[in-house]
A and B are shown apart, each in its own frame.
Chain A
Amino acid sequence: MIKVIVAALCATILTSLVVATATADGTTPQRNFAGSVQLDYLAVSHRAETVDQGLAGATLELSLKLAMDLGDHVSSNVKVCFACHGFELGMAFFDLRASDELNVRVGRFTPAFGSFPLRHDPANHQTSDKPLAYDMGRMVRFRDWNEGVLPAPWVDNGLEINGTHFFGDAQVDYAAYAMSGPKGSESGGDFDFKQSRSPERYYADNNDEPVVGGRLSFTANLGRATILSAGASGMVGHYDPAARLGFVIGGADATLQIGRAFLRTEYLARWTEISVTGDPASRFKYGPDLAGDYARYTFKDGFDVEAEVPIGRFQLIARWDGLRRQGNVLANSALRSRSAVLRYTAATSVRLVSSLRLKASLERYDFSDFGDEIAAHIGLAGPF
């Protein structure tokens, strides 16, 4: 089935290439360079207890992006990031646009999943960190939790067909993609996100089977200053080298904009198959059920609700988000078979000078398995 989908995607690419080439206008390429920097300091209330499980202290995020229009139908983007993983390639892709409704993206990029990843750049969102479902190493105890449901930005190799269509003031967007996909070992019990960014793995797929996914979203202009949008996303595939352990990720999101104020909400859920072959009794913390069988799936989901209101130079943000995990865990895990964390965030972002902003936030973590934590962020961020 997956191979049929990939074949269909390839056929669409060829069609778009033909159309794009046939309608190329030969205009001079246009280049645009942009970037952003964020330096953030995170302080936590119980540093001695959490230092091994999180990244308290200062972190820097830099992105440098070059966009190039090679005519009306072909464009390319290259983005280099420097952050906790060192230099990484965040984007390197071609867009081949046959029409508004048909665009083919080929290369390395973030596939269309959810709403937040579109704003993942620190200069494009007002808080210092990301919603827990999308956390990539900034939540307290992220190692205990193995990060969020799908860390953002999720960067991967593959191709995507996407498009948009306007019906008057309403907009429908779609995307379908085939990507290398999340990776993990047979005995790991979960994704191993390091494998996706390790040069030792050559940034290549760990099995020869791409994952597939898609997104459908609807946006309605309810007035000149009010916009409501909603979307649903999904991704399915296998993550182990033998392509035997499957996963499914689903998501839903909605955003209400009134003037320059926003109310956003998002939900992500992931079912991950785990291997129970060999000697599961020594690998897992919990034993089999009454029938003697070990559970073969774990479930992880997360949500966030965020309100953002501009008042003069200030952006005020209130956020409530959470993460939950159910299922067996490895024997050395600090989590239990049912674990949860809720986080309450009050934040502000102040424009200092030009486009430079000061971000500050106070967060309270309510863990089911650990003591509560108070975390404070303060940082500078801005595009250039």
Chain B
Amino acid sequence: MSELACCALLVLVACAGNATPATYTDGSVQDACRLVSHRCSRCHTLDRVLQARVDAPQWPDYIHRMRLMPGSGIPPSEEEILVRCLVYRSPTETGLVLLGREDGR
């Protein structure tokens, strides 16, 4: 049974290799959100992050606090990128206004 469990774990990890995403290069909202999906899913289900009822102006402080959590893996340089995605996805239009671009690019 132990051998079976080890095999199952290895298979799952091997499958994980296919989930490796592209790199983040052009600063688009899509790239920023891809980074959100990797960083935030360390401690939360992604749904929790994307459905969070956080007003757009609050996201910078929120992300800063999350970055300081143990093992967040979020270096200071990524704060702004993460905020870009989450502000864009804010439930009100405030997010787009804050970004200064209505297409989010």
Contacts and interface: CB of A to CB of B under 8 A. Distances in A.
Interface of A: 30, 32-34, 36, 69, 75, 97, 100, 103, 112, 115, 118-119, 123-124, 126, 162, 164, 166, 168-169, 171, 173, 175, 215, 217, 219, 221, 224-227, 229, 231, 255-263, 305-311, 316, 318, 320, 342, 344, 346, 349, 351, 354-355, 357, 364, 366, 382-384
B65 interface: yes
B83 to A, nearest CB: 14
B27 interface: no
The size bracket of the interface on B is 35 or more
A259 B39 CA distance: 9
B52 A100 contact: no
B23 A224 contact: yes
Given A119-B43, A169-B75, A227-B73, A258 B52 contact: no
Say whether chain A's binding surface is mostly helix, strand, loop, or mixed. Answer: strand
Contact of A171 (B20, B58, B71): B71
A318 B9 CA distance: 6
Nearest to B12: A307
Given A124-B43, A320-B5, 9 more contacts: A123-B45, A123-B48, A219-B72, A219-B73, A227-B42, A259-B21, A355-B45, A355-B51, A357-B45
- Most chain A CB inside 10 Å of its own CB: which residue of B13, B37, B76: B13
B8 interface: yes
22 contacts: A30-B61, A34-B52, A119-B43, A119-B44, A123-B44, A123-B48, A171-B75, A173-B70, A224-B23, A224-B38, A225-B20, A227-B42, A229-B71, A229-B73, A258-B17, A258-B20, A261-B12, A263-B9, A307-B16, A320-B2, A344-B4, A355-B51
Contact of A344 (B5, B20, B43, B54): B5
B37 A318 contact: no
Nearest to A112: B70
Contacts of A316: 12
B38 A118 contact: no
B22 to A, nearest CB: 9
Contacts of A255: 42, 71
Contact of B12 (A75, A226, A227, A308): A308
B60 to A, nearest CB: 11
A55 B95 CA distance: 46
A259 B38 contact: yes
B47 interface: yes
A236 to B, nearest CB: 20
B84 to A, nearest CB: 16
B75 A166 contact: yes
Nearest to A125: B45
- Most chain B CB inside 10 Å of its own CB: which residue of A30, A36, A231: A30
A255 B13 CA distance: 12
Contact of A309 (B19, B24, B62, B71): B19
A209 B81 CA distance: 46
Sort A-B residue pairs by CB-CB distance and give the 6 closest, nearest first: A261-B16, A355-B47, A259-B19, A307-B12, A173-B70, A320-B5
A354 B47 CA distance: 7
A221 B41 contact: no
B9 A164 contact: no
